[in-house]
Copies of this chain bind each other. A is one copy, B any other.
Amino acid sequence: MTEATRRERLRAETEREIRQAARTLLVTQGREAVTLRAIARELGITAPALYRYYASHEDLLRQLCDDICQDMSRELQTHLAGISSDQVREQVRAVCHGFRAWALAHPQEFSLVFASPIDALAPGDQFGSVFLEVAAQLIASHPAPEHDHDDVPSALHGDLAAFQDVLIRAVASHGCEVSAAELSLGAIYQIVQSWVRLYGHVALEVFGRFPFAVSNPEPMFDRMVDQMLSDIGFRD
């Protein structure tokens, strides 16, 4: 059956339970409550036992971040699956609204993932990548929004080209093939700019840092997404 030995299965199981307990604590009582002793208490164990599974408290939190991002990713993909693939704008809207909804529904998780300056996670396969992959896929499948290739600062060409490579490979691993020509540097630049605005709005809303009390931020968000779509070149 499984290649793993009995011991390895048990270990993996416990590891899952630990992170599940940590997750529950995070959601129900906030970041401060995610303590080794509390986690251990949850599964009827003593705190030092956790060191058999994680090198430190920080290490556990880091891995918890990975779990969270993976879950969010899956949720966004689910939202996306319900929309026919030729309705490009609706797909972008779904991802953006899904991201915002997730952030507002899981502020603790969002804060954890976005509040730690550098130390917590590997930058590669993270939350953003979901949005970005989707964006790349959509732009690639779109009738070529025609961006001025020279419109992006030449100092960025190197970075953008590298990112272009990553995106093309990521999209390919999802089954869809795109060429560098279809996903131009200009398009990549637009994607990154969209990410800046999407992230900016959501973070400001979650952190309550809008300059005034926005009684109903949703129409503002809708308007911004529409503007983004129009800036990218999607006017169907």
Contact = CB atoms under 8 A, between A and B. Distances in A.
Interface of A: 107-108, 111, 114-118, 123, 126, 128-129, 132, 152-153, 155-156, 158-159, 162-163, 166, 192-193, 195-201, 203-204, 206-216, 218-220, 222-224, 227
Given A153-B220, A158-B215, A159-B215, A114 B207 contact: yes
B215 A195 contact: no
A171 to B, nearest CB: 14
Contacts of A114: 115, 203, 207, 209
Given A207-B117, A211-B192, A156 B107 contact: no
Contacts of A162: 212-213
Nearest to A192: B211
Quickly give the copy total for this chain: 2
Which are the 6 A-B pairs with shortest beta-carbon distances?
A200-B200, A115-B115, A163-B212, A155-B219, A153-B219, A196-B200
A36 B219 CA distance: 44
Contacts of A203: 114, 199-200, 203
A114 B116 CA distance: 11
A212 B209 CA distance: 26
